[in-house]
Every structure is written in structure tokens, then in C-alpha cells.
Amino acid sequence: MRKRAILSVSDKRGIVDFARALVSWDWSLIASGGTAKLLRQSGLEVQEVADVTGAPEMLGGRVKTLHPVIHGGILARDSAADRSDLAAREIEMIDMVVCNLYPFEETVAGEGVTVDDAVEQIDIGGVALLRAAAKNYGRVIVVSTPTDYIEVLDGLRSGSMGLDARRRLAVKAFAHTRDYDTAIAAYLERFI
């Protein structure tokens, strides 16, 4: 069975080359909105999240990846019970999550930004993707920043993407979501 990666990135630096490398190694790609559009424009075959879930994006893009087909595929352990559970629901495993979050801190640092503007830059689905993949680092590779693309590709190429490497990436993802939530709380606290 082909390995599958879901890509949902706000910072698109390097994502096309990273995705191209995965495809060259026979990975299949799932992507959301702007990421899917960019990859497709670059000549890569990609499934839209909505095609995988059977549910269209809704609420102006606020809900895309928050779906049992996506999170079941990420959170499933490599066990007979979990594989059976997925099979019964026709869900396929997802082996890698590549996600970076909406630019909240950059947004609130701008001139004249309203609270409503700031709130729209609070990423929900991305945080859930990162946390799910990081929780299941025993099976899933989580990539939370473009600066890790080379390390991950080198690890896949050399076969060194083992438990220690996946754990390091998971720690980085949890630190990323922690810092993100801290920035949001600090910003909103100013209005209490």
C-alpha cells in the first residue's frame, strides 16, 4: 500500500519540491485549499481533502481537515484492532502530516489589525493535525516547519526516519502548537 501524506501549509516555501520528492518515492498526496491548488499548478497529482472526506470545506474555509476520515487515518496505531476499525469505515492510514499554521503573530504585529482580523488567523484544523500526528509519532511523521523538509527527505532517503527522528519532530510540533497558543492567549488577554 502506498504511503500517504497530508499537506496543509500556510508558509508554502519549499512545499512543491518537498511534495515532488515524496511523489518520486511513490507517496500519494492529500492537500487542503491553497496547498492543493499550488501543488496541482506545479504538475503534481494531489487529492483534495474534500475528495477524501466526502465533505466540502465549510464556514468560509474554517472547517476543512476536522473530519474522522482524516484524524482516524492519522491517529490509527499499527495494530490489528485499529486496522480493522479503519477497514470497517473504509478509512486509509495517513503516514505523514506536513502542516504549518496561520500566521497569527505576524498578523497581530501589523498596523491597524482588529480583534476580528486576529481571530480569523487562529488556526484550529492545523493545530489538530499537528497534535494528532505528534501524538502518534510511533507511526506518523509530523513536519511542522519548512526548515525540516531537508532532514525528513534525507531521513526517508537513507532509511533513518526511525522512532528517535519521529519523536524529535513530534516534540518540535508540540512546542510549535504550545508557542502558538501562548501567543494567542497573550494577545487576547490584553482585551480582558
Which of 23, 66, 14 is CA-nearest to residue 47? 23
Alpha carbons 43 and 48: distance in angstroms, whole number: 14
Residue 59, pLDDT score: 66
The helix/strand/coil state of 24 is: helix
Is the pLDDT score of 126 beyond 80? yes
CATH number reported for the structural domain that contains residue 122 in this entry: 3.40.50.1380
Residue 102, pLDDT score: 77
Answer with the residue of higher pLDDT: 62 or 105: 105
Domain of 80, in residue numbers: 4-189
pLDDT, tens only, 77-122: 888 888 888 889 888 999 999 998 877 887 777 788 888 888 888 8
Burial of 146 (0-12, 13-18, 19+ CB in 10 A): middle
What single letter denotes the amino acid at residue 90? Answer: E
* Count: domains in the chain: 1
Q: Sorting pLDDT into bands at 50, 70 and 90, what band is 34?
A: confident
What does pTM read for this prediction?
0.92
Is the pLDDT score of 176 beyond 60? yes
